[in-house]
Amino acid sequence: MIGKMRFPTIRVAVIDSGVHAAHPHVNGIAGGVGIDSEGGEHGDFVDRLGHGTAVTAVIREKVPTAEILAIKVFDRELAASGRALVAGSRWALRQDVQFINLSLGTLNPEHEPALAQVVAEAQGTDTILIAAGPEPGKDWLPGSLPGVWKVHLDWTLPRERCRVAISDDGTVSLAASGYPRPIPGLPPERNLKGLSFAVANATGLLASLFEEIAGADRTPLQRLRDAHAQGWGT
């Protein structure tokens, strides 16, 4: 059995379109930042697209006590520069978060070196980057890089469960549902859905797990291996 000892407050950074913090499915956040296309920081992290709010709501549902930080790299459309993605990730690392949720990615290989450096920096702090994994014909970055916990879409899984595979070299692959938190009165087929929300579902479930298991002397990978050996994510 996995113990119920509470880990210190889980902190999750959500890199997306910002957040509408007053939304009842979000119930407030711990702070945030906006990142412009050149990687500069500003104070506007209000969500004007709805995507980041929906992603944050998924995580909040699964780990209500988490401190969530919004990092806005999208503004008027779901597109951001590589510089913004790198700068947003580095801002998150400075906030002492356990998880960085990247319900996004880029297919531009020019960004690989800078993103690989960010992944290396995250590993040095035991911060877990969770991102969209490769799809057929789409090697998403940073999700295809070694060291990132990659998420794949599985419509057959319920939202309350994810499946975990850990390879001998420590590569972590997860599968999760692509449905977001339900909105009363709105049919699921009319709501936002897809790989973005598989990433958020996986992040929320992992954050909830890590809140419940002690292990300050264990790396995140070791803690996940322990939980998986006890049946979590199988």
**What residues make up the domain containing 166?**
11-229
- Beta-carbon contacts of 211 under 8 Å, excluding residues fewer than 6 positions away, are 6, 7, 10, 63, 65, 66
Dist CA 151 CA 35 (whole Å)? 25
Percent of the chain scoring above 90 in pLDDT: 72
Instruction: Order across the sheet with 149-153: list the strands.
Output: 41-42, 31-35, 67-72, 11-16, 99-102, 128-132, 149-153, 172-176, 162-166
Answer yes or no: is 30 within a domain: yes
Answer yes or no: is 155 within a domain: yes
**The Cα angle at residue 104 between residues 101 and 105, in degrees rounded to 5:** 115
Q: What is the pLDDT of residue 87?
A: 95
Answer yes or no: is 195 within a domain: yes
Q: What is the pLDDT of residue 79?
A: 62
Q: What is the pLDDT of residue 1?
A: 36
Answer yes or no: is 234 within a domain: no
And the tokens for 150?
A: 């990659």
Q: pLDDT tens digits for 166-217?
A: 999 999 999 999 999 877 776 766 778 899 999 999 999 999 999 988 666 7
Q: What is the pLDDT of residue 6?
A: 46
Exposure on the CB side of residue 112, measured as CA atoms within 13 A:
9
Answer yes or no: is 214 within a domain: yes
Taking 60 as the threshold, does the pLDDT of residue 3 lie above it? no
CATH number at residue 192: 3.40.50.200
Residue 157 pLDDT class (50, 70, 90 cuts) = very high
Taking 70 as the threshold, does the pLDDT of residue 78 lie above it? no
Answer yes or no: is 3 within a domain: no
Answer yes or no: is 57 within a domain: yes
Answer yes or no: is 113 within a domain: yes
End-to-end CA distance of the chain: 14
Domain count, the chain: 1
